Structure 1
Amino acid sequence: MNNTYSPYYEFDRTAWAMSRDLPPLSISEEEFEKLKGLNEKISIEEVTKVYLPLARLIHLYATTFMQLQSKMNSFFNTPTPKAPFVIGIAGSVAVGKSTAARLLQTLLSRWPEHSKVDLVTTDGFLYPNDVLEAKGIMNRKGFPESYDINKLMHFISSVKSGEPALHVPVYSHLTYDVLNDRTQLVDQPDILIVEGINVLQVNTQEPTFVSDFFDFSIYIDADEQDIRNWYIERFQMLRDTAFKDPRSYFRKYASISKEEAARTAEKIWEDINAKNLHENILPTKERARLIIKKGSDHHIDQVLLRK
């Protein structure tokens, strides 16, 4: 661990894996395979050495938060509705946020103190495609202006106020749109994980940000060239799988050649994802409480925890 002249405690992979006071691993191989992303080359060993210590650390934060809530209620003698411990997970497209979020949800739910762990992605708060088209910003999907921030802020404020039975919009990556006939129920969880490229972004026009409601935040980081390669690899894999579904928004890419698919993915990356990364996502990295740095093989090489 090297902490000289840095706002972070810095752990390499070995030091992080040596964290103590860990419970036994409680994810089966079958569960793990379902939690992995399409092209995530990680193993159960990665869960044991990296994600389990991270879950233990968050468990300490969460239980302390719950104890403080109880003491505050006693102090003010005004019991308030149960509020969840909220975790934000940010990072680029294709960096592995969804897999990290699902793994943490599963691990954190193993503790009896906070067994009810919900996961919400901010994709559901994108404007529907017809709205994006009417606004002329369909090619800006994923950029700040493509999200219904008021709806997202209302949800995160309501859940943090302890409101029950909240309904969250659901996004389909197959149809590339918000679903009109389906919502996700969020009903006073012990822990809420909010995952999305925009969760740490700030709006200079507003005094309050989504991240103001977070109790812990994580940024998944990697070299841009690696993320670009993962995005292209994932596009190629989707071309051979999901894109072949007649309902897929990207159905037209299922019949193109491997070479053309690579060129298409490269262009989408350069024109949209790389631009969004530099303008809106990467600048939020330093706002996270914890930064996870991945290597080219998807293994986590470094963890930085803000002091």
Structure 2
Amino acid sequence: MYQNENNFNLIFKHLQKLPKNKKRHLISIVGTPGSGKSTFSNELLKYLAKKDYKCEVIAMDGFHLDNRILESKNLLSRKGSYETFDINGFLSLIKRLQKEGNILAPLFNREQDISIAAAVEIKNDLDFIIIEGNYLLLNRPTWCKLKEYWDLSIMLDVDIKEIEKRLLKRWLYYGYTKDEALKKIKSNDILNSKEIIENSLKADIVIKN
């Protein structure tokens, strides 16, 4: 796996070059569904904590549109595509993180398939905020504005066949039958993965699995 010491050491070298006079720095962790963004982000948080830095992780998934809204837009089957997120709300949060103190952010509960408001507290004294999500470098209207706020962007590069294996394991875990899981992967997850691979802006660091 890519969450090894060498990768984190490389990231740390980049972080040390960032301006020292900034209140706190934003690190984006980008990748396809199943690329391991959450695991990587939490391991990076632990690594930086050992270096005596205060950090927090925020997931873009907290800005999923509610299923009722997706149903009204005929987008429920495409949940997870970039059209199914509140990009304006997410961009507003990112802007606030640059200049405000204690901030509350939403969290997505996968078991309940719902976003929970004000579930993560971003305290004033943090050194780094790690933000993980599929579309943090997406070159689409409004989404492309996010890149200017990243002090360091990291793309997790995983082979598409490996992604399919991980996603199958994920959806089986959440109670889907194998046929249901394969249909979901083919009709949604892989389409979203291709969108990320083909239409993302260049990251500062690319880490291959």
> 5 Å matches for 1:200-279?
200-204=137-141, 206=142, 209-239=145-175, 253=176, 261-278=177-194
Q: Which contiguous aligned blocks of 4+ residues in structure 1 show a shift greater than 4 angstroms?
A: none
Aligned partners of 1:220 and 1:291 also within 8 Å: yes
Paired position in structure 1 for 2:208: 293
The 1:128/1:183 distance shift into structure 2, 3 A limit, reads same
Question: For residues 126-178 of structure 1, what are the alpha-carbon distances to aligned partners after superposition, in whole Å with 9 as ceiling and x for unaligned?
Answer: 112222222221122111111111111111111112x1111111110011111
Distance 2:75 2:170 in 1: 24
Corresponding residue to 2:114 among 177, 184, 187: 177
Distance 2:61 2:143 in 1: 23
**1:102 Cα deviation from its structure 2 partner:** 0.7
Aligned partners of 2:139 and 2:201 also within 8 Å: no
The 1:150/1:273 distance shift into structure 2, 3 A limit, reads same
The 3-state SS of whatever aligns with 1:94 is coil
Between 1:221-230 and 1:264-273, the stretch displaced more is 221-230
The 3-state SS of whatever aligns with 1:232 is helix
Aligned partners of 2:171 and 2:181 also within 8 Å: yes
Between 1:285-294 and 1:166-175, the stretch displaced more is 285-294
Paired position in structure 2 for 1:89: 29
Higher relative contact order (CA closer than 8 Å, sequence separation 6+): 2
The 3-state SS of whatever aligns with 2:134 is coil
The 3-state SS of whatever aligns with 1:209 is helix
Distance 1:207 1:231 in 2: 25
Aligned partners of 1:156 and 1:213 also within 8 Å: yes
> 5 Å matches for 1:1-307?
50=4, 52-67=5-20, 69=21, 82-112=22-52, 115-161=53-99, 163-180=100-117, 182-188=118-124, 189-204=126-141, 206=142, 209-239=145-175, 253=176, 261-278=177-194, 280-284=195-199, 287-294=202-209
Distance 2:186 2:143 in 1: 32
**1:236 Cα deviation from its structure 2 partner:** 2.4
Distance 1:130 1:237 in 2: 24
- What number of residue pairs does the alignment pair up? 208
Distance 1:90 1:208 in 2: 13
Aligned partners of 1:83 and 1:159 also within 8 Å: no
Distance 2:25 2:199 in 1: 21
Q: CA RMSD in A?
A: 2.0
What 5-or-longer segments of structure 1 have no aligned partner?
A: 1-41, 70-81, 240-252, 254-260, 295-307
Aligned partners of 2:111 and 2:174 also within 8 Å: no
What 5-or-longer segments of structure 2 have no aligned partner?
A: none
User: Partner amino acid for 1:283?
Assistant: E
**1:265 Cα deviation from its structure 2 partner:** 1.0
**1:54 Cα deviation from its structure 2 partner:** 2.5
Q: Percent identity?
A: 24
Distance 1:207 1:171 in 2: 19
Distance 1:170 1:198 in 2: 17
Q: TM-score, normalised by structure 2?
A: 0.90
